[in-house]
Amino acid sequence: MNNQKKSLRNRIFKRYHSIHGKFLDAEVTIAQRRFNEFCKTNLLEYLPRNHKNIRILEIGSYKGFILKWLEDQGFLNIEGVDLSPEGVNFSKHYVFNNQKIFCQDAFDYLSDKKNKYDLIISKAVLEHIPKSDISDFLTLIYKSLKSQGRVIIYVPNMDWIMAQHERYMDLTHEVGFTRESLGELLRLYFDDVNILPVDYDPPSSIKSKIVFKMMKPIVIKLTRLWLKVLGEGAGDYWFEYRAITGTGIKKTREI
**In the chain, domain spans:** 3-201+240-249
Q: What is the pLDDT of residue 235?
A: 61
Task: Round to whole Å and give the CA distance between 132 and 204.
Answer: 40
Amino acid at 182: L
Considering Cα of 122, then 63, then 21, then 34, what sign does the dihedral take? Answer: positive
**Selection from 236, 247, 251, 123 nearest residue 185 by Cα:** 247
Q: What is the pLDDT of residue 6?
A: 72
Length of the chain: 255
Task: Round to whole Å and give the CA distance between 1 and 168.
Answer: 19
Q: What is the pLDDT of residues 80-109, one digit of tens each?
A: 999 999 999 999 999 986 669 999 999 999
First and final C-alpha spacing in the chain: 22
The CATH number for 3-201+240-249, chosen from 3.40.50.300, 3.40.50.150, 3.30.390.50, 3.30.420.10, is 3.40.50.150
The pLDDT > 90 percentage for the chain reads: 70
